Structure formats: structure tokens, C-alpha cells
Amino acid sequence: MLSTTRQSSTEIARTNFNTVRKGGLDPQEVRSHLDTVSREVGHLENRIRDLQEQLSEALRRVANPTFDEATLASALGAQSAAILRSAHEEAGRVTAEAQERSALLFTESQQRAANHLIEAQERAGAMLTEAEHAAAQMDQDARQAAERLIESAKINGDAMVDRGREQGRAIVEQANEARRNVLNDLAIKRKALHIQIDQLRAARDSMNTFVQSVREQIDALLDNINSSDEAARAAALEALRLRPPSSEPSEEELLAGTPLRHVPEPQLQPVPASSAVSHLEPVTAPTPKAPRSPAAPVGDAESFVEDDVTGTDVVNEIFARLRKATLEERGATAPAPKKAPPPVKPETPLDELFARRDRAIGESLAVLTRKVKRALQDDQNVTLERLRDVKGPITSELEDELEQRRRYVDAAVDALADATAAGMQFASDEAGTSSHADARAGIDDCAADLAVTIVLALRKRILADGNGDATERANAAYKEWRGARVERLCTDAARRAFHLGVTTASAGHSLRFFPAPNDAPCDACALDAAAPARPAGQPFPSGSAYPPLHAGCACTVVPA
């Protein structure tokens, strides 16, 4: 019989131990030893189980014999019965021995299992005790090391904090010193700047006063000059009308009682249609026969000048004689008119090509520039009239943008058409091309682009700054456009119209792109110049069918 207090091999293998402290016995070694003890106890249990089965079988056979003795004795006789009894006795003896041996083996197995279990428990207890002692020792050593480290860290931390505080105090002192130095420098510079500003303000006020006085003097002088010229012309014309018919006096008689003074050489120019009455040249001064109100259209000045051309010729002759007499009195001669510089002789065929292009476009370019400047003057007069006495925002006071553009389109379209015709003639002369294609749409686009560029720039300039007088801003804006700026823009527009005519006349032919010989080509011009000839109207690599490709581009295209 197995003891009820013993543990089976499975229970031995599953036995767990409480961990007293971290770092005790190695759990793997303890577990390995318990597995060994469990296997040993398992073998013993299997052996006991086999012996119990053998004993049970023997007992069953003994308890249930097949034949009883009487039957065997009657069947086999006395001798057989004796043999059977001896066999039974022997079987009983063997069974008793087997039982004794099995009991002995079971007892020995239990004893050995108990001894192994006790030994394992003792070894486990010893290992646990040793592990506890080792863990306690390690914990004590760790605590001591941690205390030493904490003490050392405290000491080092206090030292670092002290050093940090000292360094911080030094840095703060240096920063305060640098701040004081910077503030002192800034204060000195600020005082110097204030002094300079005061000086500049005083100089500005002085200069402003001086400029104002000079402007007033110039205005007064101009008013005197204009009024004297107009009075002299009016008096001369009135004297010419009222004098009785008589023989013309000689020059000596004419200048006998006239004080001579130096009169600057007048610059006689055709009067632009957009000129205001107050800005007309001396040759266009109104006479009593044809007075004109200030509200009359500016374009009537040309017809007025043509009506009085006879009277003005007489006046001009009088002033010419006066100038001549004055110069003779001073012992000087009339200055010779300035001669135009001789044209540059082309040195290469390419230079000759561009010279022919410039001669072909020259007349239409001059007409275009003159008409656009005249339209610019008209536009200025209209704008100044609308902005007169305007205070505050002027956006609503400006002329309608479409109307303003139409003024420039009307002024430029005819000249651009002439430039296009010149381009067609140039293509015909150079390569014998001819085409009856209509280029009117391209001319309108060219005129529209020119008008849009001028109008948008003017309006942006006038509306950019809302300070000051509106008329002054408008005058400044138009002044920027009256010179080389509008001439460059007209040059680009005329070249564009000219090349439009070349492209239109070259329909069915190829065009070759030539860069300007005297200008460094841009990237787009160099790319088109390196490309082979293209059919007329087909874009070059730059994306444009003909120049100009940029502002001031002097390149050209010629039929191949």
C-alpha cells in the first residue's frame, strides 16, 4: 500500500518554491534536480504497479481454480491427487513468497522514494538557504554600493551646482556689461543720428525754400517771356494790319529806333495736335482774327496755325532780322546748323541686311512715335482736366480704360499698318515672295498690346501713391513716358508689325532667324538663331513665330 502522505512523481516535478529574495538559488538547477527525482520516483511507481498486477493475477487464479481436488482425485486417482496437493502447496508457497517479495519491494520502493524525497527536500532547503544568504549578501552589498554612489553623487552634484552658479553669475555679469556697452553705443549713435536728421531736415527745408524761390522766379520769368513774346507778336501783327500801304522800309530804318537785345534761336517744330493753347510754339500764337476759347478742342490748333501762316511768316522774318542785327552788332555770326552724323557704313552682309531693315522701318517708326507722343499729350490733357481740383481717391475720376486704350490704338494702327506693308515689301525685295494674306488682325493685336502697355503703366503709376496732389502725380507719370521710354516701346511695336509683314508675305516659304549683330543675344534669341529655317508662321524653339522676343530685341527674320 502506498502512503497517503507521499507525493507522486508528477507532484514532485510540479513543486514550486517561494522566492525569499532576488538572487537566490538558480531555479533551473532546482527544477532539473526535481525532474531527476520525479523520473526516479516514476520508475519505482511503474515497478510497483507491475508487481501489483502480477499479484492480483495470481490471487485471481488461486481464488478461481478450474478443478477442485475431489474432482481431480476421482479423475486422476490418489497419486494424482497427491501431486495436485503438492502443486497447490507449492503454488501457495510461491504465492506467499511473491507476496512477501512484492511487499518487500514496495516497502523498499517507498523507503527509497521517501529517502530521495527527503534528500531532495534537504538539498532544496540547503540551496534555498544558501540562495537566501547569497541574496542577502548581494542585497547588502548593493545597498552599500548604492549608498556610496548616492553620497558621491550628492557631493559631485553640490560641487557642480556651485560651479554652475559661479559660472552663471559670471555670464550674467558679462551680459550686463555687454548690454550696458551696447546701450551706451546705441545711445551715442542715436544722438548722432538725431543730430544728422536735424541737420538733414534743416538742409531739406533750406533747399526746399531755395527750390521754391527758384521755381517762382523761373515761373515769373517764363510768364514774362511768354507774355512779352505774345504781346510783341500781337503788336507786330496789329501794326502790320493797321499800317498804310507803303514801300517796305529798309533794314536800317527798321532797326533805327529799336533797342537790340539777344534773342535765343527759336526751335521751329510742327505743332502736335494734342498741344494745349498755353503750350503752343511761338509760330502758333493766336491772332485777333481767329481767337479760340480755352475749352476748344486741342486738335484745332493745327488748322489755326495753317490759317495764320502768312502773318507768322512776316513776324518770323522780323525776328530773324532782329537776331541778325544783334549778332552783327556783337561781331558774331549765326551758328551753323548741326549736321547729322554720317551713317555707319555696313561692314558685313549681315550688317547690310539689318541696315536695309532699319531703313525700311524708319519712316513708319518715326510716324508711329510722333503719333503716340501726340496721343500721350492728348491723354495727359484729358487726365489733368478730369483730375483738376480733385481731393481724395481718384480712381472714379479717371477716364474709362477702354476709351483711353482706344486713343492709343487709333493713333498707332495706321503707322503699324505702314510698318507691316514695309515688311511685306522687304520680304518681296529680299526673296521675291508675294502673298495677298490679310494681316489686319495681327496689326490690331499689335496696336492693342501697345495701348494696353502704356495705359496700364500710366494708371498704375498714377494710382500707386495716394499722397500729394493728383495733378502732380499725373504729370510725373506722363513725364516718365514722354521720352525714351515711349520711343523704345514704339520701336518694339514697329519691329513687331514689320516682322508680321515679312511673315505674312512669306507664306509658303521658310524663314531664317538672325540675331542682331551689335547686341549680345539672349537665351531665347540664341536658341532661335541656332534652329534651322522654319515655315513662315510656324513658331521657333522660343515659342514665337517672329521677333521681338523681349523688350529692345533687334533680331529679325528673313525669307530663306
pLDDT tens-digit readout, 134-174: 888 898 898 999 899 998 888 988 888 988 888 888 899 88
Tell me: the pLDDT tens digits for 332-347?
A: 455 554 444 555 565 6
How many angstroms separate the CA atoms of 125 and 118, rounded?
A: 10
How many angstroms separate the CA atoms of 316 and 308, rounded?
A: 12
Instruction: Give the pLDDT of residue 343.
Output: 55
Any idea which of 27-31, 227-231, 335-339, 352-356 has the lowest mean pLDDT?
335-339
Confidence of residue 27 (pLDDT cuts 50, 70, 90): confident
Provide the pairing of β-strand 556-559 with 510-514: antiparallel
Question: Cα dihedral angle (236, 239, 245, 249), rounded to 10 degrees?
Answer: -50
Confidence of residue 294 (pLDDT cuts 50, 70, 90): very low
Instruction: Give the pLDDT of residue 369.
Output: 92
- In b/e form, how buried is each residue of 33-43, taking b as 16+ CB within 10 angstroms? ebeebbebbbe
Asked if the model's pLDDT at residue 506 lies above 80, the reply is: yes
Confidence of residue 257 (pLDDT cuts 50, 70, 90): very low
Going from N- to C-terminal start, the domains of the chain cover: 9-167, 252-330, 357-505
Instruction: Give the pLDDT of residue 209.
Output: 83
Instruction: Report the Cα 205 to chain-centroid distance in Å.
Output: 43
Tell me: the pLDDT tens digits for 537-560?
A: 889 998 898 889 888 899 999 988
When pLDDT is averaged across residues 360-372 and rounded to a whole number, the result is 92
Tell me: the pLDDT tens digits for 78-98?
A: 676 677 778 878 888 888 888
Instruction: Give the pLDDT of residue 104.
Output: 87
Of all residues in the chain, the percent with pLDDT exceeding 90 is 13
Which residue is it, cell 529680299?
A: 430
Confidence of residue 175 (pLDDT cuts 50, 70, 90): confident
DSSP for 391-438, please give it. Answer: -S--GGGSPPHHHHHHHHHHHHHHHHHHHHHHHHHHHHHHH-------
Any idea which of 16-25, 78-87, 192-201 has the lowest mean pLDDT?
16-25
Instruction: Give the pLDDT of residue 72.
Output: 58
Tell me: the pLDDT tens digits for 449-471?
A: 999 999 888 888 887 755 556 77
- Give the residue ranges of DSSP H helices in 243-308: 251-255, 301-307
Instruction: Give the pLDDT of residue 347.
Output: 66
When pLDDT is averaged across residues 365-371 and rounded to a whole number, the result is 93
Instruction: Give the pLDDT of residue 36.
Output: 83
When pLDDT is averaged across residues 54-66 and rounded to a whole number, the result is 79
Confidence of residue 12 (pLDDT cuts 50, 70, 90): confident
Looking at mean pLDDT, say which of 240-249, 470-479, 483-492 comes out highest.
Answer: 483-492
More confident residue, 506 or 237: 506
Burial class (CB in 10 A: 0-12, 13-18, 19+), 274: buried
When pLDDT is averaged across residues 109-120 and rounded to a whole number, the result is 85
More confident residue, 116 or 288: 116
How many angstroms separate the CA atoms of 298 and 246, rounded?
A: 38
More confident residue, 346 or 305: 346
Confidence of residue 372 (pLDDT cuts 50, 70, 90): very high
Instruction: Give the pLDDT of residue 412.
Output: 92
Instruction: Give the pLDDT of residue 308.
Output: 41
Tell me: the pLDDT tens digits for 386-442?
A: 777 666 566 667 778 888 899 999 999 999 999 999 999 998 888 787 777 788 889
Beta bridge partners of 535: 510
Confidence of residue 325 (pLDDT cuts 50, 70, 90): low
Instruction: Give the pLDDT of residue 279.
Output: 34
More confident residue, 430 or 307: 430
Instruction: Give the pLDDT of residue 187.
Output: 83
The model carries a pTM of 0.42
Asked if the model's pLDDT at residue 100 lies above 70, the reply is: yes
Cβ within 8 Å of residue 160, ≥6 positions away: none
Average confidence score pLDDT of the chain? 76
Instruction: Give the pLDDT of residue 389.
Output: 66
How many angstroms separate the CA atoms of 120 and 440, rounded?
A: 119
Instruction: Give the pLDDT of residue 55.
Output: 86
DSSP 513: E
Instruction: Give the pLDDT of residue 60.
Output: 84
More confident residue, 206 or 342: 206
When pLDDT is averaged across residues 526-532 and rounded to a whole number, the result is 90
Q: Cell numbers at residue 204, please?
A: 531739406
